[in-house]
Amino acid sequence: MNSTRQSGNLSVDIAVSYIEKLGYKVIERNYYARKLGEIDIIATYN
């Protein structure tokens, strides 16, 4: 795995940790939508 991808994964890990502490539930990570590209985090607020 290259350093750019590792850095991106670490950034998403940090963001997920933060939004979960705020009460959000992460539904999907690194979702690829054909017309939109990659969506890093999809979450809902409980």
State in Å, rounded, how far the first CA of the chain is from the last one: 34
The pLDDT assigned to 45 comes to 96
Q: What is the pTM of this model?
A: 0.77
Q: What is the pLDDT of residue 1?
A: 60
pLDDT number for residue 28: 97
Q: Taking Cα atoms as reference points, which of 28, 32, 33 lies closest to residue 43? A: 28
For residue range 5-44, list pLDDT tens digits in order: 777 789 999 999 999 999 999 999 999 999 999 999 999 9
Q: Where does the pLDDT of residue 4 fall: very low under 50, low under 70, confident under 90, or very high at 90 and above? A: confident
